[in-house]
Structure 1
Amino acid sequence: MALPLANWLSQDKWQSLALEPVLDIRSADDFAAAHLPNSANIPWARLPLRLHELPPAGTPLILIGVAPVLNEAIPWLQCRGWPIKGAWSVNPEPIPDWWSHGPPTRRLWAPTPFLSEHIDGIERSLGGPGRALDLGAGTGRESLYLAQRGWQVMAVEQRPELLERMQVSAKDWQVTIDGMAMDLRQASAEAFDTPFHLIIQCRFLLRSLWAYLDAWTVRGAYYLLETFTAEAAKFGKPKNPAFLLAPEEPMNVLPNWVVVIDQQRTLADGRPLRGVLLKRAPTL
C-alpha cells in the first residue's frame, strides 16, 4: 500500500534516502513539472519495455507515483524480483519548493565498468566522441551510455525485440541510436558503409568478427572486448569453449592492434570477466 508522500517527507528526511534507487513512475510531463531530487523516471506505461534500465533484480526500490498506479506496480515488480522498500504517492497539494524540475538526469542502470572506467581516456586520445559500433548490443545499455556522451552509435543485435526495447529507451532519453538487426555470423568486411572510431563487444564472443576489425575501423581506433574466461565454466554458464576467451586471445590474431589494457574482474557469482582494450596502429 502506498503512503501519502507529503504526510511525512521533509527535505532532511529525503537527504537520508536520496542515494537509494528511487523510481518515479509518473508520466514524463508530471515528473518534469516537479520531482524529488535525484530520483529516476520511467513512466509506468513504459516500464515493461524498459525493465533493463532497473538495477539488478533483488535490489530494493523506492517507488514514487500516484496511489492507483503504485498499487498495481508494487506487486508487478515484486513478482519479477524487485523488493519494494517503500512506496509513496504524490498528493495534489502544493509541491515543496525544494523539489527539482525538468527531465530526468539520474539513471538506475550502468554500463559495464570496463567501458565507463576507460571511456574518458579513449575520448581524450581520439579528440572527443566519434562513431561507435556495439556488436551484440542486447538491450543496449552500453549503446545508450555512449549516445548520452555524444557518440554516433550503431547497435547490432540479432533479436528484433531487444532492438525495440533499446529504441524505447533511446527515445525516452532523447538520444539517437542506429539499430541494425543482423546475425553477425553472416557479417562481412562490407557490412558497414562508414568506419568506426570505437568497437565494443561486451559479454558476447564471436571470433569470426576479428577478421573484419581493420575493415570496420579507422586507423587509431579502439576495440573494447569484455567477456568470460575459461574459469567461468566452473561457476555455471557459459561452458561452451566457443564463448570463453583464451589467455592469448585476441592479440594472437590481430597483428595491427596493440594492447592498451588487459584486466580481469569477478562478478558477484564468482565468474571471471576479462576486459581487453586494443588500439589499432595509426600507420598500418
Structure 2
Amino acid sequence: MTELRVVHNRKICDVRQREEYIASHIAGSVNIPLETLLRLTCALPPRHVPITFVASTVAEHDTCRDIASRMMFTDAIVCLFSELAGAKINHGPPLRSLRLWEPNELLLDTISTVERNIGGPAAAFDMGCGTSRDMIFLEQRGWSVFGFDNRKKLVQQAVAMGNLHQCTVDVALFQLKNHFPIQHASMDLVLMSRFLYRPALAEMLQLPRPGGYLMISHFLEGCQDTEVGTPSTVEGYLLRGELTRLCAASDVPYEVCLDEETLLSDGRPMCRFLARRLS
C-alpha cells in the first residue's frame, strides 16, 4: 500500500473515469479523466507545486508519469487508487469549486477588496483571457464574465476548461485591430493578465463604470535581460510607470490604487496595477 504522504499537503489529480471517481475518491482530489487531461494540461498547477496523480490502471499510471515528466514537475507522485491507504475517502460528484490551479496573484490578492467596494460580484471583462482561469475563478464567485483572446487554440481550451469546471465560459475570438468588443462604461472590472496590445490600452480606460476597476498584471521591461529572455521587445512588455502615466493623461479620471513591481520565480519583473475610475 502507498503511504499517506502521497496525498498530504499536495494537489491531487484523479485521472480515473468520472463514474469511478463518483463511486469513491480521495477527499480534496480533482477529477480530470485522462483523455481530458491529455488535451487540457493547462488545468494542472505550476510545475513547482507538489502533485499526486491517482490512476486506475497501470496504463494510466504510465501515461501520468509521462505527463509529469513532460511538464517538468519538480515533485510529482503517480499511484494507483487501489494502493492508497489511510487517506480520507469521499463519495459523489466532484465539487464545482475544486481546482488544481490558482488565478493570477493580483486578482487573488485584491478581489475581496474590489467586491467590497462595488457591492459584491458584478460584471467583468477579461482582455486576452487565455485558457480562462481568471474567468472561471470570477464566475465561481458569482461574477458575470466575458472574455476574448486572439488565439483560436486558447479560446477552444477556455471553453473546455469551463466545461471541466462546470462553468459557462463566455469567451470569443477577437482581433483588436479590427474592432473592440465592449461598450464604454459597462464593466465593474476590466482585467488583463500576461497579454498586451498597447494600441488598445487607452480605450481600456473607457470600459469600467464609474467606481469600477482596471486590473493589469503583465511583464515589465527587464524581462529581455533575464535568462528566460522573453518578452524580448517593447511590444511585449510594459515600461515602468507606463500605466500610471496613461491614467494621468486620460480624459477619464482614475485613482491609482496599486502600481508595484514583483519578481517571478524565474527572475522576470512583473507589474501589478490596480486603478479605480472616479466618475
Which bin holds the TM-score, normalised by the shorter protein?
0.7 to 0.9
Are residue 115 (structure 1) and residue 107 (structure 2) matched?
yes
How many residue pairs are counted as aligned between the two chains? 269
Deviations along 1:156-181, one digit per CA (max 9) or x if unpaired, are 10112111111111112111121110
Q: Map of 1:102-251 to 2, 5 A cutoff?
A: 102=92, 103-104=94-95, 105-188=97-180, 191-192=181-182, 195-235=186-226, 236-251=229-244
CA contact (8 A) 2:26 2:87 kept: no
**Partner Cα distance (2:2, 2:75) in 1:** 18
Q: Indicate how the Cα distance of structure 1 residues 85 and 231 shifts in structure 2: closer, same or farther if over 3 A, else same.
A: closer
Q: Which runs of 5+ in 2 are unaligned?
A: none
**Aligned 8 A contact 1:222 1:280 in 2:** yes
RMSD after superposition: 2.5
State the SS of the aligned residue for 2:65. helix
Distance 1:156 1:210, change over 3 A: same
Closer, same or farther: CA 269–34 of 1 in aligned 2, 3 Å: same
Question: Mean Cα displacement is larger for which, 217-226 or 202-211?
Answer: 202-211
Partners of 1:87 and 1:207 in 2: CA distance: 43
CA-CA distance at 1:132 after TM superposition: 0.8
Cα distance in 1 between the residues matched to 2:261 and 2:221? 12
Q: CA–CA distance in 2 between the matches of 1:132 and 1:36?
A: 34
- Bigger shift: 241-250 or 143-152? 241-250
CA gap of 1:107–1:97, structure 2 versus 1, over 3 A, is: closer
CA distance in 1, matches of 2:40, 2:83: 27
Distance 2:18 2:145 in 1: 25
Q: Which runs of 5+ in 1 are unaligned?
A: 1-6
- The yes-or-no answer on 1:69 pairing with 2:66 is no
Match of 1:4 in 2: none
Q: Is the 8 A contact 2:68 2:76 kept in 1?
A: no
Measure, in 2, the Cα distance between the counterparts of 1:138 and 1:97.
35
Report the Cα offset of residue 84 of structure 1: 6.9
On the 8 A contact 1:136/1:201 being kept in 2, the answer is yes
Per-residue CA distance 1:205-237 (angstroms, 9 max, x = gap): 222222323542211110001112212221111
Kept in 1, the 8 Å contact 2:208–2:214? The answer is no
Tell me which stretches of 4 or more aligned residues in structure 1 moved more than 6 Å: none
- The one-letter code sitting in structure 1 at the alignment partner of 2:266 is D
Percent identical: 25
Residues 61, 83 of structure 1: 8 Å contact kept? no
Residues 106-141 of structure 1 deviation map (CA, whole Å, 9 limit, x = unaligned): 322111111100000000011111111111111121
Q: 1:211 to 1:86 in 2, by over 3 A?
A: closer
Supply the AA of the counterpart residue of 1:163: V
- In structure 2, what is the Cα distance between the partners aligned to 1:193 and 1:242? 26
TM-score by length of 1: 0.85
Q: Distance in 1 between matches of 2:83 and 2:74?
A: 27
